[in-house]
Amino acid sequence: MSTVPAAAQVLAILRYLAGQAGPVAAAAISRDVRLPRSTTYHLLDTLISEGFVVHLPEERRYGLGVSAFELASGYSRQAPFQRLARVPLARLVDRTGHNAHLAVLHGREVVYVIEERAPGRAPLITEVGVRLPAHLTASGRAMLARLSRAQVRALFPDSSALVPRNDAGPRSPSALRHLLTEVRRRGYAAEDGEITAGFSSVAVAVLDHGAHPIAAVTVTFPAFDVGPAQRGRIADQAAQTAHELSRRVGARPEPLPGR
């Protein structure tokens, strides 16, 4: 697929501004986005005229404008990612026969945004809108394992940030780091009775174009019904769905691990 250079440059500027803690100078934009200074100024002028960027003359800096906020608000209203994910998640339930859900990371918590229930399966705590500690859930662990060590350290600086549940889960930052290393090695995250006694979950992160975790696909099942081999097959199914969703949002996910 061919790209339009000017459009790609505009998007690169907007993406860069969205990732900054505050407004930045044009020279920084030009340097970090790797654009000629004259091109940077021309594109900024266009974005300013359309309301996507605002110029702060006293500070000689540029930040996102109201039109960028309107885009974000439109995304929230339309919930396109949830729409993209619902059918693949339903297919995952059909293939595994177990409940599946999609969660997003919000600080130290995960928020469940889709739940697909298998016929005959009981409802779980992971209903839409429920928040749970990220370090205890398979979905949270799948996403945390895709963050940098510095990002994880910022979220969980000390043991007080690691709230236990059912007397289980990592109790220290070092224990969490060890757990996340195991998630990366294995290729999926898991939890056993740490959220609901008698139930286990496996999860795989959904990645965006920058390999950043934007969600996690999770399957939950009665622990006594599923042996190690079957758990691995369920994790493979969750990985297939997560990779499909990553492709749907424009990412190039890593190849599925072989078993």
Query: Quick one: pLDDT at residue 72?
Result: 64
Query: Quick one: pLDDT at residue 2?
Result: 56
Q: Which helix (H) or strand (E) holds 214?
A: strand 213-222
Query: Quick one: pLDDT at residue 201?
Result: 94
Query: Which ranges constitute the DSSP H helices of the chain?
Result: 5-18, 26-33, 37-49, 66-78, 80-96, 138-144, 149-155, 173-186, 228-248
Query: Quick one: pLDDT at residue 58?
Result: 86
Query: Quick one: pLDDT at residue 79?
Result: 57
Query: Quick one: pLDDT at residue 80?
Result: 67
> Average pLDDT of each block of 10 consecutive residues along the chain (259 residues)?
76 88 91 92 92 89 82 57 86 94 89 86 70 92 92 88 75 91 94 86 90 91 87 94 88 55
- The whole-angstrom separation of Cα 182 and Cα 12 is 34
The structural domains of the chain, ordered by start, are 5-66 (1.10.10.10), 76-248 (3.30.450.40)
Query: Quick one: pLDDT at residue 212?
Result: 85
Residue 256 DSSP class: P
Query: Quick one: pLDDT at residue 166?
Result: 67
